[in-house]
Amino acid sequence: DIQVTQSPSSLSASVGDRVTINCRTSQSINIYLNWYQQKPGKAPKLLISSASTLQSGVPSRFSGSGSGTDFTLTISSLQPEDYATYFCQHTSSTPCTFGQGTKLEIK
């Protein structure tokens, strides 16, 4: 099975900051990597698929990059509504494991 390591597990940042969250897989997965956002009490929401494809309606301050084993989610200028937990997920092969999550908190 492919292991997914997400870092950091938590992050404190201010409105307007640039934030990066990382995901590393135990073997190469090409671009089979998705990012989700989850707010308290809500279901996850798909933000980015195939490492860098922004989903319709997702603000352009979100971006994704990477291929192979190393991937990054970047929020260029943090907004109040972005405080949430973020998960990556690989879909290269089953089981399609999620990363452990990054909780983004207000500084």
Partner 1 sequence: EVQLVQSGAEVKKPGESLKISCKGSGYTFSNNWIGWVRQMPGRGLEWMGIMYPGDSDTRYSPSFQGQVTFSADTSISTAYLQWNSLKASDTGIYYCARQVWTGLTDCFDHWGQGTLVTVSS
Which positions touch partner 1 (CB under 8 A)?
A: 1, 31-34, 36, 38, 43-46, 49-51, 53, 55, 87, 89, 91, 94-101
Indicate the residue among 79 and 93 with the shorter CB distance to partner 1.
93
Minimum CB distance to partner 1, residue 14 (Å): 25
**Cα–Cα distance between 58 and 69 in angstroms, integer?**
24
Minimum CB distance to partner 1, residue 72 (Å): 17
